[in-house]
Amino acid sequence: EVQLVESGGGLVQPGGSLRLSCAVSGFTFSNYWMSWVRQSPGKGLEWVANIKQDGTEKYYVDSLMGRFTISRDNTENSLYLQMNSLRAEDTAVYYCARDLGKWEPHQHWGQGTLVTVSS
Amino acid sequence: DIVMTQSPDSLAVSLGERATINCKSSRSVLYSSSSKNYLAWYQQKPGLPPKLLIYWAFTRDSGVPDRFSGSGSGTDFTLTIDSLQAEDVAVYFCQQYYSTPYTFGQGTRLEIK
């Protein structure tokens, strides 16, 4: 069974940093593109970033302005999102997702981890 | 960025009837060389992550009931739910994955009338 479990969310002050993790099981992690997608409370969905199987290609939503970094460790079956210079508008549930492929949608999703940016 | 606009924002349909949700993209998401529309539909129930229903505009993901169907091409797409069931109450999102940043519609809330 495909499983994705996010962790690392919590309350952080504006300007602070957090590192989200996504531990996967039930499939060969190194075979798949992976994404992070976020959802602000009561609002819609926003794709954040994705990463190629070997980590050599990464794409981000422009509005992040270089504050977030996606990475992966195929030996640990884990996906990461380093978030710096956090702002109130980054408050959201962050989901990791396994993509069908490059330029393909998100077939499997984790349950999400809540990030709250507030003083 | 490609802007995705769904209509209506909310919809109430009687059990057993048909629900239709529309999605319009600001640019074509049809890739001419493959003749594929880079358009997906997701269902999200309260407290749960989104679930992929349809991709390539009309291909149902594994295990998705055949009462869910997708249609359209280019910039205009439709998700149709035939014979609405109580468990179909959810918010539905379209998404283009033609180009980054991948973008979602604002969502359509489907309720039972």
pLDDT band at B49 (very low <50, low <70, confident <90, very high): very high
pLDDT of residue B112: 97
Instruction: Name the percent of chain B lying above pLDDT 70.
Output: 100
| Cα(A112)–Cα(A27) distance, integer angstroms | 19
B17 and chain A: CB distance < 8 Å anywhere? no
Question: What is the predicted pLDDT for the residue at A42?
Answer: 72
User: How many angstroms separate the CA atoms of A95 and A92, rounded?
Assistant: 9
How confident is the model over A31-76, as pLDDT tens digits? 999 999 999 977 789 999 999 999 999 999 998 989 999 999 999 9
Give the start-end residues of each E strand in chain B. 4-7, 10-13, 19-25, 30-31, 36-37, 39-44, 51-55, 59-60, 68-73, 76-81, 90-96, 103-104, 108-112
Average pLDDT, chain B: 97
| H or E element that contains A39 | strand A34-39
- A21 or A43, greater pLDDT: A21
CA distance B111 to chain A (A): 17
CB-based contact (8 Å) between B70 and chain A?
A: no
pLDDT at position B103 is 97
Please compute the mean of the pLDDT values over residues B74-90 and round it to a whole number.
Answer: 98
pLDDT for res B70: 98
Residues B30, B32, B34, B35, CA torsion sign: positive
What residues of chain A lie within 8 A of the CB of B38, using their CB? 103
